[in-house]
């Protein structure tokens, strides 16, 4: 009996020692080897290859100081944790060159000192949000700065972690911010580490949108690029230079934006733009094909839309595109407010669907339009493509299934809001309004220049382009922000006056387009990722709260009792067998 008991104890001690040894061995090996598994369906905690390359290519330390810290509501705590997880993941790929710190701007007990901190952060480019927090049965206002400063070799870039037009954040905005977090951080690191910004120019001199109407997108693009305005004025060196001894011209800019010209562009200016493209330049064309004569519409409640003569048809046809002389109407459209028949002494302001302003929902998986909000167009036209072997064409945006193109001339009338246009019965669905062209373009002037070959060589003329890209959108107002000149202010691109917030994806469309045209496809691939955030149901939380509270309190106790009872039963059975 005693020998059997001693043998069993000895065997148990050996098993215990072996178990401890295995655990220590695994811990020892784990100190040298890293194993990271992302089991989420959308690979939420896995960085995109472009982000890994960016982190791995750092030559010095990037320091990220995050100000989203301290006492925060649940939504902002999730954003705080998402930032921390992302920074930790970056440190895996660049342990020596990624450092971060979390700081609470409200940590100072003195109100004067806190206000000085607030002022300094706003001066550095960060914006605050005002939140309401419940404290002992009452609500208090609290200022938080959901942002960070990214510093590299003395250069600092502000990073707004919570992208909101409103001062008070909501859950949906926090979810969007978490979804775009990797893109925003990668973009900030790239801005801080970039040695040279690429150059983008708005062409002017042909009635294009003035700087007030492109203020917002200029501000956004300036965070990544060097943005300016340029007049061609038939000057051969306006867009490019001809260095001495060189056979080809060198572009001064990487990309051009031609936003809503309303007058004829001289052939010499067209030639200069053409040769900019032949030398590898990228162009974003935002063109109106029809003039709706809005002044007449406001005065007479109708107008006759006529073709807008920019003299670009032949040039664009040579590249493989045609912007038709028509106006698109779409059942999926923005509203218009119109005063209806007076009731008593007061007129009534009502909203009606305004078919001339389509709201286009992106359905393509292309990175330029992937996961952006619907795009708001005004008096847009349709686009046709022409077969060109050396150019690849991609339709990015189309009308809804309930749309139609009204051919020139078009009567534009406010009475359309009370007219049955039959868009459910007779339609032409999926009409293109944005088309991307990529490849090698033949010069639109290849068969038109009647000059001597030595003169062409002197000009640096090229008949075929290097691989490049152009994007055509058949609406010049797609880039135009709302302007209040009396107050000297402008609104965010995509802002809706009736909703009093930003609801359209025009800003993201233009930014993505420029990222793509300038070959920042690694950056745009990060923006294109989509993380599904599975939120809790607030009604079920309130309903089932007592049950889950009981389970959280009693559950662990019951599990411990069950485990002790099971172990005791196994030991009794084991000793009974030994006896």
- The answer to whether 496 touches 473, Cβ cutoff 8 Å, is no
User: pLDDT tier at 251 (50, 70, 90 boundaries)?
Assistant: very high
> Higher-confidence residue: 141 or 124?
124
- Distance CA(79)–CA(334), nearest Å, equals 33
Q: Which residues, 6+ apart, have CB-to-CB distance to 289 below 8 Å?
A: 307, 308, 323, 324, 325, 326, 381, 474
List beta partners, residue 383.
323
Across 106-110, 112-116, 286-290, least confident range: 106-110
The neighbour count for residue 225, using CB atoms within 10 Å, is 23
N-to-C CA span, the chain:
7
At residue 170, the pLDDT reads 62
Tokens of 509: 């469309």
CA 264 – CA 305 distance, rounded (Å): 17
At 468, is the pLDDT very low, low, confident or very high (cuts 50, 70, 90)?
Answer: very high
Is residue 315 very low, low, confident or very high in pLDDT (cuts 50, 70, 90)? Answer: very high
pLDDT of residue 167: 46
Degrees (nearest 5) of the Cα angle 485, 490, 492?
Answer: 160
Which pLDDT belongs to residue 575?
Answer: 67
Please tell me the distance from the alpha carbon of residue 231 to that of residue 208, in angstroms, as a whole number. 11
Residue 343 has pLDDT above 70, yes or no: no
Is residue 253 within 8 A of residue 238, CB to CB? The reply is no
| pLDDT over 90, % of the chain | 42
- The mean pLDDT value for 554-579 works out to 75
Q: Which residue has the higher pLDDT, 376 or 568?
A: 376
Strand-pair partners of 495: 502
Residue 58 has pLDDT above 70, yes or no: yes
Distance CA 577, CA 575 (A): 5
- pLDDT tens for 161-210 read 886 554 445 667 777 788 888 888 988 898 888 878 899 999 999 999 99
- Give the tokens for residue 5: 């008991």
Distance between CA atoms of residues 476 and 479, nearest Å: 7
In whole angstroms, how far apart are CA 74 and each of 129, 171, 174, 411?
Answer: 15, 9, 10, 54
Q: Is 70 exceeded by the pLDDT of residue 97?
A: yes
Residues listed for the chain: 579
Average pLDDT over residues 500-520: 88
Residues 6+ apart with CB under 8 A from 158: 124, 125, 126, 147, 148, 149, 150, 188
**At 468, which helix (H) or strand (E)?**
strand 468-473
Contacts of 20 (CB under 8 A, 6+ apart): none
**How confident is the model at residue 41, as a pLDDT?**
57
The candidate with the shortest Cα–Cα distance to 237, out of 248, 226, 252, 255, is 252
Cα 14 → chain centroid: 61
User: Phi/psi of residue 50, each to 5°?
Assistant: -65, -40
233: left (phi over 0), alpha (psi -120 to 50) or beta: left
Higher-scoring residue by pLDDT: 485, 529: 485
Give phi and psi for 113, each to the nearest 5: -65, -40
Q: Contact 345/354 with Cβ under 8 angstroms?
A: no
Nearest to 193 by CA among 50, 48, 47, 58: 58
What one-character-per-residue DSSP string does 140-188 give?
EEEEE--EEEEEETTEEEEEESS--SSSS--HHHHHHHHHTHHHHHHHH
Is 51-175 CATH 3.40.30? Answer: yes
At residue 201, the pLDDT reads 97
Q: Which residue has the tokens 């867009």?
A: 239
Output the CA–CA distances (angstroms, integers) from residue 304 to 382, 411, 418, in the order listed. Answer: 18, 5, 18
The alpha carbons of the chain give a radius of gyration, in whole angstroms, of: 32
> Domain residues of the chain, as ranges?
1-35, 51-175, 199-517
- Which residues on adjacent β-strands are paired with residue 351? 337
Whole-number Cα distances in Å, 107 to 80, 104, 118, 121, 142: 16, 5, 12, 14, 12
Residue 487's pLDDT band (boundaries 50, 70, 90)? Answer: confident
Q: For residue 570, is pLDDT > 80?
A: no
| pLDDT over 70 (residue 505) | yes
Of residues 361 and 365, the one with the higher pLDDT is 361
Three-state SS letters, 22-46: HHHHHHHHHCCCCCCCCCCCCCCCC
Integer Cα distance of 497 and 481 in angstroms: 11
**Which pLDDT score, from 0 to 100, does residue 31 have?**
63
Per DSSP, the chain holds a count of helices (H) and strands (E) of: 14, 29
Look at residue 529 and give its three-state secondary structure. Answer: coil
Mean pLDDT in residue range 417-428: 82
63-92 pLDDT per residue, tens? 999 998 888 888 888 889 999 999 998 998
pLDDT in tens, 12-27: 677 777 878 887 887 7
- Cβ atoms of 270 and 312 within 8 Å: the answer is yes
Is 409:305 a contact under the CB 8 Å cutoff? yes
**For residue 409, cis peptide bond before it (omega within 30 degrees of 0):** yes
Strands 250-251 and 240-241: antiparallel
Q: According to the model, what pLDDT value does residue 458 have?
A: 82
* pLDDT surpassing 80 at residue 536: no
Q: What is the pLDDT of residue 383?
A: 96
- Tell me the range of 215-224, 277-286, 426-435 where mean pLDDT is highest: 277-286
Of 480 and 160, the one with more pLDDT: 480
Give the tens place of pLDDT for each residue, 38-53.
556 555 667 788 888 8
Alpha-carbon distance 169 to 173, whole Å? 6
Asked whether the beta carbons of 327 and 336 are under 8 A apart, the reply is: no
Question: For position 531, what pLDDT does the model report?
Answer: 54
* pLDDT given for residue 40 in this prediction: 60
66 forms bridges with which residues in the sheet?
Answer: 102, 148
For residues 116-131, give the mean pLDDT.
85
The whole-angstrom separation of Cα 235 and Cα 339 is 50
Q: Determine the Cα–Cα distance for residues 385 and 393; give it in Å rounded to an integer.
A: 8
SS3 282: strand
Percentage of the chain lying above the pLDDT 70 cut: 86
Mean pLDDT of the chain: 85
Task: Tell me if residue 382 falls in helix, strand or coil.
Answer: coil
Q: With 70 as the cut, is the pLDDT of residue 537 above it?
A: no
Cβ atoms < 10 Å from Cβ of 241: 14
């Amino acid at each position: 009996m005693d020998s059997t008991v001693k043998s069993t104890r000895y065997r148990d001690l050996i098993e215990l020692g072996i178990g401890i040894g295995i655990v220590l061995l695994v811990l020892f090996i784990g100190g040298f080897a890293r194993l990271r598994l992302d089991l989420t369906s959308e690979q939420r905690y896995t960085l995109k290859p472009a982000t890994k390359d960016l982190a791995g290519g750092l030559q010095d330390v990037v320091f990220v100081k995050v100000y989203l810290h301290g006492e925060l509501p649940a939504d902002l705590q999730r954003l705080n944790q998402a930032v921390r997880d992302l920074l930790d993941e970056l440190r895996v790929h660049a342990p020596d060159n990624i450092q971060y710190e979390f700081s609470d701007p409200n940590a100072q007990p003195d109100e004067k000192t806190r206000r000085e901190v607030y002022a300094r952060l706003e001066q550095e480019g960060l914006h605050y949000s005002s939140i309401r927090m419940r404290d002992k049965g009452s609500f208090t206002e609290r200022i938080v700065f959901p942002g960070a400063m990214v510093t590299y070799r003395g250069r600092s870039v502000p990073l707004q972690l919570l992208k909101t037009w409103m001062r008070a954040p909501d859950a949906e905005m926090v979810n969007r911010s978490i979804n775009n977090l990797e893109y925003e951080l990668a973009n900030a690191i790239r801005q801080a580490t970039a040695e040279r910004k690429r150059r983008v120019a708005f062409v002017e001199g042909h009635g294009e949108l003035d700087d007030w109407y492109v203020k917002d997108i200029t501000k956004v693009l300036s965070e990544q690029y060097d943005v300016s305005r340029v007049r061609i004025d038939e000057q051969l060196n306006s867009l490019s230079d001809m260095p001495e001894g060189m056979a080809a011209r060198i572009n001064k800019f990487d990309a051009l934006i031609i936003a809503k010209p309303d007058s004829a562009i001289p052939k010499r200016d067209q030639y200069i733009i053409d040769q900019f493209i032949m030398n590898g330049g990228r162009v974003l064309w935002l063109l109106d094909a029809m003039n709706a004569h809005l002044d007449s519409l406001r005065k007479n409640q109708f107008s006759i839309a006529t073709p807008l003569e920019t003299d670009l048809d032949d040039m664009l046809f040579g590249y493989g595109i045609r912007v038709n002389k028509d106006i698109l109407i779409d059942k999926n459209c923005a509203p218009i407010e119109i005063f209806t028949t007076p009731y008593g002494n007061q007129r009534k302001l009502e909203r009606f669907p305004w078919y001339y302003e389509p709201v286009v929902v992106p359905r393509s998986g292309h990175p330029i339009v992937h996961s952006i909000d619907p795009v708001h167009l005004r008096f847009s036209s349709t686009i046709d493509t022409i077969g060109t072997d050396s150019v690849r064409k991609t339709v990015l945006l189309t009308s809804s299934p309930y749309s139609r193109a009204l051919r020139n001339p078009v009567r534009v009338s406010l009475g359309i809001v009370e007219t049955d246009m039959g868009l459910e019965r007779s339609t032409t669905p999926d009409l293109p309004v944005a088309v991307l062209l990529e490849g090698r373009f033949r010069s639109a002037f290849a068969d038109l220049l009647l000059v001597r070959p030595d003169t062409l060589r002197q000009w640096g003329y090229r008949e075929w382009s290097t691989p490049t890209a152009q994007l055509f959108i058949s609406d010049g107002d797609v880039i135009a922000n709302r302007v209040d000149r009396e107050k000297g202010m402008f609104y965010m691109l995509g802002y809706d006056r009736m909703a009093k917030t930003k609801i359209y994806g025009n800003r993201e469309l233009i930014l993505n387009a420029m990222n793509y045209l300038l070959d920042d496809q690694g950056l745009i691939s990060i923006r294109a990722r989509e993380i599904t955030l599975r939120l809790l149901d607030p009604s079920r939380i309130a309903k089932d709260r007592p049950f889950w509270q009981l389970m959280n309190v009693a559950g662990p106790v019951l599990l411990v009792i069950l485990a002790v009872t099971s172990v005791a039963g196994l030991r009794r059975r084991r000793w009974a067998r030994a006896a």
